[in-house]
Copies of this chain bind each other. A is one copy, B any other.
Amino acid sequence: MADASLDVIGIGNAIVDVLSKADDGFLAAQGVAKGTMTLIDAARAESLYAAMGPAVEMSGGSVANTIAGIASLGGKAGFIGRVREDELGKVFAHDIRALGVRYETTMATDGPPTARCLILVTPDAQRSMSTFLGASQNLTPDDVDPTFLRTAKAVYLEGYLWDPPEAKHAFRKAMDIAKGAKSKIAFSLSDPFCVARYRTEFRTLIDEARIDILFANEHEITSLYETEDFDTALQAVRGKVPVCALTRSEKGSVVLWDGAVHVIDAERGVRVVDTTGAGDLFAAGFLYGYARGFDPHRCGRLGSLCAAEAISHMGPRPEASLKELAMKKGLIAS
């Protein structure tokens, strides 16, 4: 692992979440696909927002949430992603910097507004996301500064980055830089429909051994290998990436690590309010542990703990200090 001053640098879409409660009837009436992420345009964002109930705004974005979690654990982290210089863009930049994260991507001064994700949370605590990518689409390879990237032990990239065409090039550039710097490349499959959109490319990345650490939930890994069976998917990915964390909601996670299989429990006794951010925060705990040289089991347990905090309240980012929670559980030394 490279000598590095940051634990993790994340590259992802820079998004403000707009969270509201809704019932299944509303999802059906609005044609919102439950439990997944759908890309929407500006007009649809406006009409869906107008139909939604009262909402709460808070910073989101999958990789950005992970980076926020790493900072809350006491990790040193950076983020790259584009907002526009508007009110929501300032909210995003404020929130991530207030956590001590290095975030220096230039704000766009024209073009589409800051990205927003309209998140409908149903009484079963499931979140259904409609994302207007806005200014996120203007992330380019120029925003990926090699000197900055080389300071990280791991670089974390989201599958969602393949949606904005230019961001994909930024993604590839980041992979090349990280490889040169011997930083580890961590990658999240993001969403089953995202996997369906880019299945061939994602499988190529894995087959070409470009990925050091892979994150996926059950739906994403089975979508990647076009199977309905989790174990078939697990065997398909096994041996192709050095480390792979497969999350299974309340069933915990399965961690493949240098050939061995570790089964990790989910946190028990959690009152689930809103699953937004569960996967992102699992990745936060896991990556923090990985960057600090923890063993597979401890990385997984940290992931479970951080995910449990995220689902216990509305919104994706931690409300409590993850560092304090982890210290109480003996997962981080005080």
A residues with CB within 8 A of B? 21, 49-50, 52-59, 68, 86-88, 91, 94-96, 98-99, 113, 314-315, 317, 319
Could you tell me the distance between the alpha carbons of A57 and B18 in the complex, rounded to whole angstroms? Answer: 9
17 pairs, CB–CB < 8 Å, chain A vs chain B? A50-B94, A53-B98, A53-B99, A54-B59, A54-B68, A54-B94, A54-B95, A54-B96, A55-B58, A55-B94, A55-B95, A56-B57, A56-B58, A57-B57, A57-B58, A86-B87, A87-B87
The answer to whether A54 and B87 have CB atoms under 8 Å apart is no
Could you tell me the distance between the alpha carbons of A53 and B317 in the complex, rounded to whole angstroms? Answer: 13
A314: which B residues are within 8 A, CB to CB?
319
CB distance from A316 to the nearest CB of B (A): 11
- Measured CB to CB, the nearest residue on chain B to A88 is B87
A68: which B residues are within 8 A, CB to CB?
54
- How many monomers of this chain does the complex have? 2
Given contacts A86-B87, A87-B87, A88-B87, contact A54 B315 (CB under 8 A): no
Could you tell me the distance between the alpha carbons of A98 and B53 in the complex, rounded to whole angstroms? Answer: 5
The answer to whether B57 and A98 have CB atoms under 8 Å apart is no
Could you tell me the distance between the alpha carbons of A91 and B88 in the complex, rounded to whole angstroms? Answer: 11
Could you tell me the distance between the alpha carbons of A314 and B273 in the complex, rounded to whole angstroms? Answer: 14
- Measured CB to CB, the nearest residue on chain B to A52 is B98
- Measured CB to CB, the nearest residue on chain B to A99 is B54
- Measured CB to CB, the nearest residue on chain B to A94 is B49
A49: which B residues are within 8 A, CB to CB?
94
Could you tell me the distance between the alpha carbons of A53 and B96 in the complex, rounded to whole angstroms? Answer: 9
A315: which B residues are within 8 A, CB to CB?
56
A99: which B residues are within 8 A, CB to CB?
53-54
CB distance from A33 to the nearest CB of B (A): 22
- Measured CB to CB, the nearest residue on chain B to A89 is B87
- Measured CB to CB, the nearest residue on chain B to A16 is B57
Could you tell me the distance between the alpha carbons of A12 and B21 in the complex, rounded to whole angstroms? Answer: 26
- Of A54, A88, A94, the most chain B CB neighbours within 10 A belong to A54
A21: which B residues are within 8 A, CB to CB?
319
A86: which B residues are within 8 A, CB to CB?
87
Could you tell me the distance between the alpha carbons of A95 and B57 in the complex, rounded to whole angstroms? Answer: 11
Among the listed B54, B91, B94, B317, which residue makes an inter-chain contact with A317, where contact means beta carbons less than 8 Å apart? Answer: B54
- Of A50, A52, A94, the most chain B CB neighbours within 10 A belong to A94
